[in-house]
Amino acid sequence: MRHTISVLVENKFGVLARVAGLFSGRGFNITSLAVGETMDPAISRMTIVVDDQGSPQIMEQVEKQLNKLINVIKVQDFTGGESVDRELILIKVKTTTNTRSEILEIARIFRARVVDVSLHSVVLEITGAVDKINAILNLLTRFGVKELVRTGKIAIARS
């Protein structure tokens, strides 16, 4: 099962390596990772998406060990819980005179922003939850995706 884990950490060098080490040491592959400062520049938040590879107990252990890291202040697992999440992607899609309008129409429906246009491609910016992102990716694949860049998921607890 996929877990979305939100980790508050001290904003210091080496912290990322400590956090990542807990996953890599167990052979867990991190699906995505987003890091940024919080309102307090001394504290950063990491949002980590990781698959527990069928061992939720091991995941529970990893989360306890995350908590045990000296530079980690708080750990929350948002899986199945009360949170909102978003991801931002930039996608460069091949265009021809024939396909351009259809692509732009898809973009409009999904509220994607066109951030760059050239003769043979268009770059779209899309924000949304995983379902929406997957849906638009599905639609755009057949036109030919030249490049895809994702921020990784970020999540916040509902109030």
Residue labelled with tokens 């999904």: 110
**Residue 14 or 54 having the CB closest to another protein:** 14
Angle at 64 between CA 67 and CA 74, to 5 degrees: 30
Q: Does 37 bind another protein (CB under 8 A)?
A: no
| Member of 53, 67, 96, 101 binding another protein (CB under 8 A) | 67
Q: In Å, how far from its chain's centre is CA 3? A: 12
Separation of alpha carbons 71 and 9, rounded Å = 6
Q: Does 26 bind another protein (CB under 8 A)?
A: no
| Member of 25, 36, 56, 81 binding another protein (CB under 8 A) | 25
Cβ neighbours around 62 below 10 Å, total:
23
Q: Which of residues 69-128 bind another protein (CB under 8 A)?
A: 69-74
Site residues for another protein per CB under 8 A:
9-10, 13-14, 17-18, 21, 25, 43, 60-61, 64-65, 67-74
